[in-house]
Amino acid sequence: MNPSCPDTRSDDRPRPTAGRVGALLALLAAVTATVAVAGPEYLWPLFVFPLVVAALYFFELGSLAVTFWLGNYFVFFFSFVAPPTPAAVRQAVLGTALFFLAGLLLGRIQRRHHRTQSELAASSLTDRLTGLYNYGTFTDYLHTEVTRVDRYGGTLTLVMLDLDHFKEFNDRHGHEAGNELLRAVGGLLRSLVRESDVAARYGGEEFAVLLRGDESHGYELAERLRQAVACLTVTVRGEPVSTTMSAGIATYPTGARTETELVERADAALYESKRRGRDRVTIYTGVASEADLPVSLSA
E-only strand ranges, 197-241: 198-203, 206-212, 234-236, 239-241
The answer for 295, left when phi > 0, alpha when psi is -120 to 50, beta otherwise, is beta
Q: How many helices (H) does the chain have, and how many strands (E)?
A: 8, 8
**205: annotated active-site residue:** yes
Residue 79: CB partners within 8 Å, gap ≥ 6? Answer: none
**Cβ neighbours around 255 below 10 Å, total:** 27
Q: How far apart are CA 248 and CA 230, in angstroms?
A: 16
Tell me which residue of 260, 244, 242 sits closest to 252, measured CA to CA: 260
Pairing state of beta strands 296-297 and 156-163? Answer: unpaired
Catalytic residue (choose from 60, 145, 205, 259):
205
Active site residues: 205
